[in-house]
Amino acid sequence: MKHQRFTEKVALITGSSMGIGKATAILLATQGARLVLNGRNLERLEQTANELKSSGFEVLAVQADVSQVEDCKCLINETIEHYGRLDILINNAGMSSRGYFEELDPKVFEDMMNINFLGCVYPSRFALPYIKESKGSIVFISSVAGIRGLPETIMYCASKMALTSIAESLKVELAEYDIHVGIIYVGITRNDEGKQVIGKDGEYIPLKSRENRNAQLPEEVAKSIVKNIKKRRFKSILTPLGKINYFANILFPRIVDRLLIKAKDRIRKMNK
């Protein structure tokens, strides 16, 4: 049946105790997938797992920090020990940052690359042998900020841009194995209460609510992610603004430069 497209498939979604990751987990579960949830906050992770289990879904919850090599080894090992296979890895865990380059504590550079870049590289590396067996999917959740560098979120942009290189290289390296590699460029998305970003001094700060902005719901983003996997697409750029951003940077890069220079103060104010 169409709505059971993922029956018996095992899907691991990093950063899935809230937001886009949670919405994607729910959608995959309704289509038959067996889930592996992941997060750093054990209380929130268990709450999400119990919520899904109460709806009759098959769920394994694994607390792990994907920026740490050993945690990622354990995450994949527990998945295989529990289910015996892995079909879909969605590298969703990530965090944004705030501050101009000259203001940033050097710790922010390291933290952002560890979380957003290595936090996708490590799980993918250890999952790869099992994805080869299942001829499954490895998907990276990037951002429209990973298409073009923006002021105030410089390290977020850099870490998300790096995912494009990984995805492009893997697509070539793994072509002979019939593995699907996908990358999703997500636009502004409504955030859950309690969502945090890294401030210029390296401390976590609350993310400003996006309710008054033209933001997608996590459930809408989840639909695009699942569609990418079903269609085995490579790149998916979400929202009309994201598509304009993509093509404008190719066709009119100097105009984009001028527009961003004019808007940089407004962008900074909006992020406060």
Range of the domain at 81: 2-271
Q: Is the pLDDT of residue 1 over 50?
A: no
* Residue of 156, 185, 204, 246 with catalytic role: 156
Alpha helices in 3-137 (DSSP H): 19-30, 42-54, 69-83, 106-112, 119-134
**Band of residue 272 on the pLDDT scale cut at 50, 70, 90:** low
How many domains does the chain fold into? Answer: 1
Mapped onto helix, strand or coil, the DSSP state of residue 162 is helix
Q: Is the pLDDT of residue 265 over 80?
A: no
Mean pLDDT, the chain, integer: 93
* Partner residues linked to 99 by β-bridges: 153
- Residue 246 annotated to the active site: no
What's the rounded mean pLDDT across residues 247-255? 90
Whole-angstrom Cα Rg for the chain: 18
Q: How many C-alpha atoms does 95 have within 13 Å on its Cβ side?
A: 29
Distance of CA 210 to the CA centre of its chain: 18
CATH at residue 119: 3.40.50.720
**Band of residue 212 on the pLDDT scale cut at 50, 70, 90:** low
Mapped onto helix, strand or coil, the DSSP state of residue 124 is helix
**132-184 per-position pLDDT tens digit:** 999 999 999 999 999 998 999 999 999 999 999 999 999 999 999 999 999 99
Tokens (6 digits) for 43 = 């209380």
The span from the CA of 260 to the CA of 77, in Å, is 45
Q: Measured at the alpha carbon of residue 1, what is the angle toward residues 186 and 79, in degrees to the nearest 5?
A: 60
What's the rounded mean pLDDT across residues 88-113? 96
Q: How many C-alpha atoms does 82 have within 13 Å on its Cβ side?
A: 19
